[in-house]
Each structure stands twice: as C-alpha cells, then as structure tokens.
Amino acid sequence: MRTKVKLHLKDEGGDVDTITTWINLPEQQAHDHYIGKRLNLGTVADRMMKCFKVETLNIQDVNTKGTMNAVPIIK
C-alpha cells in the first residue's frame, strides 16, 4: 500500500504550513508515522515544524497500481 498524505505543520512561533507527500505504508501506519514528528522544512536555514494533523488524500495498491477510493482519515 502507498498513501498520499497532506501534513499540517506548526513551528514554535505558531506559523503553520502544509506539505503533500507519498509514503509506502498503509493509511493508519502513515498517520501514526507522521503525527508528533518534527520535520525540517528549511532550505537555507533550519525551519523545524511539528506535524499536528495528517489528512489522507489518496491510497494506492502498489501491486495493481490502482487507486482505492476510501473515506479519508483525519487525525
């Protein structure tokens, strides 16, 4: 399984941002993997942000390359 997720991030100053990425995990494991994790979104200087919400955008079965339309989980 492959899951496309939108990560909702917040830094210590309260600024928020989002990124969208694929991860080779089933939906629930993808959510568990990112929630509470700190990510560095900086390109020149460090910009550490903590994931506070994960939104599922797409789920794909890697064996069939097909998209599975499931109701998204939002944590």
Beta partners for 30? none
Tens-digit pLDDT profile for residues 48-61: 999 999 999 999 98
Q: Where are the beta strands (DSSP E) in 1-75?
A: 2-10, 16-23, 38-40, 48-61, 66-68
Weakly modelled stretches of the chain, pLDDT under 70: 64-75
From residue 44, alpha-carbon distances to 40, 47, 49, 53, 56 in Å are: 11, 9, 15, 25, 29
Asked whether the beta carbons of 3 and 55 are under 8 A apart, the reply is no
pLDDT of residue 61: 85
pTM of the model: 0.81
> Which residues lie across from 4 on neighbouring strands?
22, 58
